[in-house]
Structure 1
Amino acid sequence: MTQLKAPREGYSEALIRLGERYKEMVVLDADCAKSNMTNLFKDKFPDRFFNIGISECDLVGTAAGFAVGGKIPFANAYANFLTGRAFDQMRIVVCYANNNVKIVGHNAGTSAAQEGATHLPLEDISLMRTLPRMTVIVPADSLEMEKAVEAVFQHEGPVYLRVGKLPVPVVTKPEDPFVIGKANLYQEGSDVTIISTGIMLSEVFKAAEELKQRGVSAEVIHVHTIKPIDKETILKSAAKTGRVVTVEEHSIIGGLGSAVSEVLSEHQPTPMRRVGTQDRFGVSGKMNELLDFFGLRAANIVNAVEELLEPVTAQ
């Protein structure tokens, strides 16, 4: 039976392990420590935790100040408010100044669920991708989240890390590599390439199995680093299969689908489909209901693949 665990749990556990090893690590939060589980870091290292209050702009500015002083700050807040309200601060005092600040967007995607439509961040990756020098990372599950936090800490420069709140299937393995900027090839195939990011990897695995039953060989690639994106892996796979489907728990505008489209259109035009939320805002509901509502299920991925296969079959 597949284990369910919230990505924020893996995030919190990794923070504490790093905090024990590195005294220069500091954690800041915008008055959401319990929800973000940074309160556990606070309990362990009270002198290195700072609650800035419900003021995301001040959160980012203060984190930049810590970075200038030689600390390695992790600035935590809800992803929708953090990327929206504090965009200017991230643009100037983090990215333009090239400060070593780790921006952590919590309550991401459909995990905001019942907190309301306005709290559902489906544009955060797009916003962060536009910032020069910003690295953008979206782990698949709690286990990959732990690896990501370690890699983010060691990485020199601005990073945006997306963290989900609610439990999701743990589908990665301890031995799976995690290298910033390098995608992971989970399954080789010949008919279509399915590229996932974030928690959609579990649905992609289900879709690949369903396609196998239908005689379709799917190559599965997981892109945990959306920026810088792994062009080499994407182009190599697209050349082999000739068809690409991207899958993300985010708007298809500006997210993974856009990033992959940019790579393919410039270097190797390839028929593709993008599975993700369309040009719309979120709605309130339970996480599973939202995944159904937005069409972020294995069945939707299978349908996208079959759309790509239809023209070939008809010839």
Structure 2
Amino acid sequence: MLKDMLMRDVLVEFLRNEMAKNENVVVVDADLSKCSTTICLNDVYPERMLNVGIAEANMAGVAAGLSTYGFIPYITTFGPFATRRIADQVMISICYSKQNVKIVGEDPGICAELNGGTHMPFEDIGILRSIPNIVIYEPTDVIELSQALPQIHKHYGPVYIRMHRKAPPIVHKDDLKFDLFKAMVLEEGKDLTIVASGIMVKTALDAREELLKEGISAEVVCSPTVKPLDSETIIKSVKKTGAVVTAENHNVMGALTSAVSEALVENYPAPLRSVGVKEKFGEVGKEAYLRKVFNMEVKDVVKAAKDVLKVK
């Protein structure tokens, strides 16, 4: 069943199906296909599985070159290697020339866990968000990802998929009707809006339940696509509630918090508090420990909600 699959398994199954239908779909990686499990595709389509070795910049250049010949390359690697290590190649070779390259950056933020600080990107969205032509998407769960991948595949141009390799909690219902470029109001409320992405969506929903116990009604908006941001849905919610908390598995500079702040300051200024990483590097640890270290627990969202209501 879909709900029992890991995110990387959903990706591999999607690639397997697309490679069967279209001989121009290729996978390019830098010696991490075992980690992404795309290695299993070598048994079926070895000629379209390109391992460039530990040379991520070359990986991006090869993908861009393949795109110019009509191929649809999927880069798969860890988040920091898909962004900060190849930022120049992504900007010049892929985005500047608007190549049809899909970049999969796995285990973002605290999802990197035991791989530690060097492999724990809190800045990846911030690096890419200011580059023109690229779409940035962070899946919430496997149900959403399974509907997002076909839309990403049909979208011509660069897309960054900021993806957990494992299985974050299921948030969506089976009857989800997902639109890559739309945010979703998961729960309605009247006192404040919580805008969340990725693994922090479930955290936001849990925080909402805690706030309800104290008579505080929070509206939860899931915003998986950070660029382009669906500012219309978010502004509409904040106009109703008058205050907002953002929750993200990223530095609060450069990604969801920045995007929401920019949208609000230009359209409907409102008090805002953020939950996310603040001026820290990553470190080794399991997710539960890292949530404590970086103040990304349910109680932190609850505290931010109460703080923002004081200045509403």
Q: What SS does the corresponding residue of 2:65 show, helix, strand or coil? A: helix
TM-score, normalising length: structure 2:
0.95
Question: Structure 2 matches for 1:83-232, cutoff 5 A?
Answer: 83-232=83-232
In structure 1, distance between residues paired with 2:276 and 2:5 = 22
| Structure 1 position 261 matched with structure 2 position 289 | no
In structure 2, distance between residues paired with 1:295 and 1:11 = 30
1:181-237 superposed Cα distances (whole Å, 9 cap, x missing partner): 211111111111011111111111111111112111111111111000001101111
Match of 2:73 in 1: 73
Size of the aligned set, in residue pairs, is 310
1:71-120 superposed Cα distances (whole Å, 9 cap, x missing partner): 11101111112211211111111111011111111121112111121111
**For residues 288 and 10 of structure 1, do their structure 2 counterparts lie closer, same or farther at Cα, with a shift above 3 Å needed?**
farther
| Amino acid across the alignment from 2:82 | L
> Do the aligned residues in 2 keep the contact of 1:5 with 1:170 (CA within 8 Å)?
no
Q: What SS does the corresponding residue of 2:180 show, helix, strand or coil? A: coil
Question: Structure 2 matches for 1:298-309, cutoff 5 A?
Answer: 298-309=298-309
Moved more, 74-83 or 41-50: 41-50
Q: What SS does the corresponding residue of 1:27 show, helix, strand or coil? A: strand
In structure 1, distance between residues paired with 2:121 and 2:57 = 17
| Amino acid across the alignment from 1:151 | Q
Q: What's the CA shift for 1:47?
A: 2.1
> Do the aligned residues in 2 keep the contact of 1:15 with 1:149 (CA within 8 Å)?
no
Match of 1:43 in 2: 43
In structure 1, distance between residues paired with 2:210 and 2:14 = 35
1:141-190 superposed Cα distances (whole Å, 9 cap, x missing partner): 22222222221111111111111123321222232222222111111111
Q: What's the CA shift for 1:4?
A: 6.7
> Do the aligned residues in 2 keep the contact of 1:191 with 1:218 (CA within 8 Å)?
yes
| Amino acid across the alignment from 1:254 | G
Q: What SS does the corresponding residue of 2:83 show, helix, strand or coil? A: helix
1:268-310 superposed Cα distances (whole Å, 9 cap, x missing partner): 1010111101111101111221122111111111110011122
| Amino acid across the alignment from 1:134 | I
Match of 1:30 in 2: 30
> Do the aligned residues in 2 keep the contact of 1:28 with 1:76 (CA within 8 Å)?
yes
Q: What's the CA shift for 1:21?
A: 2.6
In structure 1, distance between residues paired with 2:62 and 2:98 = 15
> Do the aligned residues in 1 keep the contact of 2:271 with 2:311 (CA within 8 Å)?
no
In structure 2, distance between residues paired with 1:204 and 1:101 = 32
Q: What SS does the corresponding residue of 1:23 show, helix, strand or coil? A: coil
Q: What's the CA shift for 1:260?
A: 0.2
| Amino acid across the alignment from 2:63 | A
> Do the aligned residues in 2 keep the contact of 1:189 with 1:220 (CA within 8 Å)?
yes
| Amino acid across the alignment from 1:14 | F
> Do the aligned residues in 2 keep the contact of 1:4 with 1:168 (CA within 8 Å)?
no
In structure 1, distance between residues paired with 2:296 and 2:166 = 16
| Structure 1 position 21 matched with structure 2 position 12 | no
> Do the aligned residues in 1 keep the contact of 2:26 with 2:73 (CA within 8 Å)?
yes
**For residues 125 and 289 of structure 1, do their structure 2 counterparts lie closer, same or farther at Cα, with a shift above 3 Å needed?**
same
In structure 2, distance between residues paired with 1:4 and 1:246 = 29
- Regions of 4+ moved over 3 Å: 3-6
Match of 1:56 in 2: 56
Q: Which runs of 5+ in 1 are unaligned?
A: none
Question: Structure 2 matches for 1:229-308, cutoff 5 A?
Answer: 229-308=229-308
| Amino acid across the alignment from 1:175 | D
TM-score, normalising length: structure 1:
0.94
Moved more, 14-23 or 155-164: 14-23
| Amino acid across the alignment from 2:287 | M
